[in-house]
Amino acid sequence: MTSEPILSQATEDRAFADLDSYQALAAKQQPTWLDTEALASAKSELASQPPLVFAGEVDQLRERLAQAARGEAFLLQGGDCAETFAGATADQIRDRVKTLLQMAVVLTYGASMPVIKVGRMAGQFAKPRSSDTETRGELTLPAYRGDVVNGYDFTPESRTADPQRLVRGYHMAASTLNLVRAFTQGGFADLRQVHEWNKGFVSNPANRRYESLAAEIDRAVRFMIACGADFSELRRTEFFVSHEALLLDYERPLTRIDSRTSLPYGTSGHFLWIGERTRELDGAHVEFLSKLRNPIGVKLGPTSTVDDALRLIDKLDPEREPGRLTFITRMGAGKIRDVLPGLLQGVKDSGALPLWVTDPMHGNGITTPTGYKTRRFDDVMDELKGFFESHREVGTFPGGIHIELTGDDVTECLGGSENIDEATLGTKYESLCDPRLNHMQSLELAFQVAEELKLAR
Ligand code: PEP
Ligand code: MN
């Protein structure tokens, strides 16, 4: 991946041939590309582009996640359900990064533990759907599969899968990542700016609480500076990006063989995960990701068994390398206390040490009588509590949270101290896919998680 001519063409060809074993297996949730010539040309264009992330960064994240697996750090992963091309604006990206930085400060300060920050950003463009088609009135069209595949508008033109969107997705991811890197490396994420991150958001109880925490941090930092401490390290913060590696026609062309190790790295994002709907052991996604060197996540829903988990470990993490594999459980508030402890115990007994993360969003979806897809903040919090309780019960480490959120002031999830109710949902509902916590609900959640995390230390 560097310009050193270490990697011979033959080595590279061999590595790619091995990587392509997935092509013999069934891949669920892929679009039907009608124009195969356009698809081939989009894929070769992607293959010729520079990587978005680099092997060294990916290795760094794997080490950080290993710390979390061992109980020495905590993962905060969050962002949109589905990023959109129209939503990749400077303001929206900045506010999402600010929200994650604020949550990370709340968690770090509350639990005195390093927090690994990972955005669901710069590539979270493809969505699995429960049905291949959508019908409105007389008209049936392909389902919307995310901006990297087709358009949301309900017309035959817009819903046709367009391979040029793969290339556009890459460029959107590049400009998003460019901004994320600027915000997190250029002084904006400096801990001495804790107050700044709170500016521009509508005043609410959660950010007033944040303000007083920021004042405490400020005082502590100023005290340390007065004592002569060197804070130049605090100017930058590590920030990684992740997405569901759903669309193999995007992921495969963005894979590069690292010249140092001759191993394949997915360069579309640092952390890639496999969704609940594509995690079959004999499916193309598990096969493909088993070959990548990136840290890999797998979502586990409420029907997951110990056997499923153990076989996924054998396939994706045969060396039992801490940091390699993250299980992201999404059970639902009503089920987590029944299902999770058994799963944790079975995996613990096997001697494996995956990182366990909770996604308290995807098991708690409801649809209101008025037709909005939503989630109750209380259910989200209840699943989070169930996650911490289950780990306490089994003696394993609750290593992180995976949240759908935005820095915007949307009204997509019910409840929180602002008490968004069904009548309010329609006022600012913008998600094209799943409902996200707004800025205030995200901060509120972080304060509550910090309390739980204190008990887990
Ligand atoms: C998602 O993370 O947006 C998603 C579709 O999740 P899951 O695979 O858990 O259903
Ligand atoms: Mn989602």
Within 296-403, residue ranges assigned H as helices are 306-316, 336-350, 377-394
First-to-final CA distance of the chain: 39
In angstroms, what is the span from residue 176 Cα to ligand 1's centroid? 21
pLDDT given for residue 203 in this prediction = 83
403 to 96, 118, 346, 438, 452: CA distances (angstroms): 12, 11, 26, 11, 16
pLDDT given for residue 190 in this prediction = 86
The residue whose CB lies within 8 Å of the most ligand 1 atoms, and thus the one to mutate among 280, 299, 373, 412, is 299
The residue whose CB lies within 8 Å of the most ligand 1 atoms, and thus the one to mutate among 148, 276, 300, 304, is 276
In angstroms, what is the span from residue 276 Cα to ligand 1's centroid? 6
DSSP class of 294: S
Hey, what are 395's tokens?
Answer: 């003696």
Q: What domains can be seen in the chain, in order of their start residue?
A: 21-189+236-456 (3.20.20.70)
Q: State how far the Cα of 206 lies from the Cα of 409, in Å rounded to an integer.
A: 13
Q: State how far the Cα of 341 lies from the Cα of 392, in Å rounded to an integer.
A: 9
> Mind listing the pLDDT tens digit of every residue in the chain (457 residues)?
545 557 899 999 999 999 999 999 999 999 999 999 999 999 999 999 999 999 999 999 999 999 999 999 999 999 999 999 999 999 999 999 999 999 999 999 888 899 999 999 999 999 999 999 999 999 999 999 999 999 999 999 999 999 999 999 999 999 999 999 999 998 888 888 888 888 888 888 888 999 999 999 889 888 988 998 887 777 889 999 999 999 999 999 999 999 999 999 999 999 999 999 999 999 999 999 999 999 999 999 999 999 999 999 999 999 999 999 999 999 999 999 999 999 999 999 999 999 999 999 999 999 999 999 999 999 999 999 999 999 999 999 999 999 999 999 999 999 998 889 999 999 999 999 999 999 999 999 999 999 999 998 8
Length of the chain (residues): 457
In angstroms, what is the span from residue 395 Cα to ligand 1's centroid? 27
Q: Find the helix packing angle between 306-316 and 336-350, rounded to 10°.
A: 50
pLDDT given for residue 3 in this prediction = 52
In angstroms, what is the span from residue 103 Cα to ligand 1's centroid? 22
pLDDT given for residue 5 in this prediction = 54
In angstroms, what is the span from residue 192 Cα to ligand 1's centroid? 35
Which ligand 1 atom sits closest to the C-alpha of 128? 5
In angstroms, what is the span from residue 84 Cα to ligand 2's centroid? 13
Q: Could you tell me the pTM of the whole model?
A: 0.96
Judged by phi (left if over 0) then psi (alpha if -120 to 50, else beta), residue 71 lies in left
The residue whose CB lies within 8 Å of the most ligand 1 atoms, and thus the one to mutate among 277, 312, 432, is 277
Which ligand 1 atom sits closest to the C-alpha of 81? 3
> Which among 347, 348, 354 is positioned nearest to 316, based on CA atoms?
354
pLDDT given for residue 22 in this prediction = 98
Largest CA distance in the chain: 73
Ligand 1, atom 6, lies closest to the CA of: 275
Q: Which residues line ligand 1 (CB under 6 A)?
A: 81, 128, 244, 275-277, 299, 330, 362, 434
